[in-house]
Amino acid sequence: MRPKKIPFRSPSSVPATRRDAMPEKRERRNRQGAARRAQASSSEPAASERLHKVLAQAGLGSRRTIEEWIAAGRVEVNQQPAKTGMRIGPQDRVKVDGKLVRLHFSTRPPRVLLYHKPEGEIVSRDDPEGRPNVFSALPRLRGSRWVAVGRLDLNTSGLILFTTSGELANQLMHPGAGLLREYAARVLGGLTEEARAQLLDGVPLEDGPARFHSLEDAGGQGANHWYRVSLFEGKNREVRRMFEAVGGMVSRLIRVRYGPFVLPPRLKRGRSLELEEAEVERLIAGLKGQSKAGSAQRNAEKPLQTAKPYTRGIAAGRSAVGH
């Protein structure tokens, strides 16, 4: 079957009334298209964010570090060298050292988890020895990743925070935030009064002097004695090294508090609790207020303990909220 031929109609063959209406339709369509483009362009600034802020939220580093990367030419936006202070949107492609970065734009606050780390898990995704890591017990994410707020060594258990915002993680770890870390330490043989005084006054370590903000006797039986200690720093194995500096040996160490959060008594090892959005917003507002005040006075407030249990997405082989 031959295709049906469509007769050509010249403009002169179109009735005058229709021919007169054609320019008006074109003009109306042009006006509508221009309005849509203007609306889209006016909405772009609201959807765009500063490049260094977006990369910090992705967990690549602090804003200051990323600004240094931009100045050094390590960051590209749409195959062009990035500029300090530029804004980007969801449609932009960003590379750091030639590697594409998955970006996340959202007006909602970042997610925050409280995780009860058991002994024997490492706080790292890459381990040549293939040891269990904390990330395998966390809920799975799409389009983002969990960033650990600090670390706990292999043989230390207790509270560790995770967030989907690298910027928030850096704020929580920064010494300027003045967030108190509290531990329960079981020491072999106990401490003398002189050793306790030294730990409160300060002891020399390889990376500088360190001291406890508080040290309380928590009792114990036999050769082991428990102490509750707190400090405002988070150096590598700092608590253990401080006890070793005065002749003590820590046989067990549990972190029970980080800033405004305490380890919930009913949160079993290997389980996590996710904060409500209102709690996350309160945390962010508190960090902003604390940075302006320039002091750790807010740590004296009542620790935040309320959180909604996370009951889905845990790795296979575990119960609904952990093992």
Active-site residue numbers?
153
Distance CA 237, CA 38 (A): 57
User: Are the C-beta atoms of 220 and 174 separated by less than 8 Å?
Assistant: no
- Which two tokens mark 86? 């530029």
Distance CA 323, CA 124 (A): 20
User: Are the C-beta atoms of 191 and 150 separated by less than 8 Å?
Assistant: no
Distance CA 239, CA 253 (A): 9
Number of continuous H segments (helices) and E segments (strands) in the chain: 7, 16
**Following DSSP, what letter does each residue of 37-74 receive, concatenated?**
HHHHHHHHHHH-EEHHHHHHHTTS--HHHHHHHHHTT-
User: Are the C-beta atoms of 185 and 250 separated by less than 8 Å?
Assistant: yes
Rounded to 5, what percent of the chain is helix, strand, coil? 30, 25, 45
What backbone torsions phi and psi does residue 95 show, to the nearest 5 degrees? -125, 140
Which residues have a Cβ under 8 Å from the Cβ of 8 and sit 6 or more positions away? Answer: none
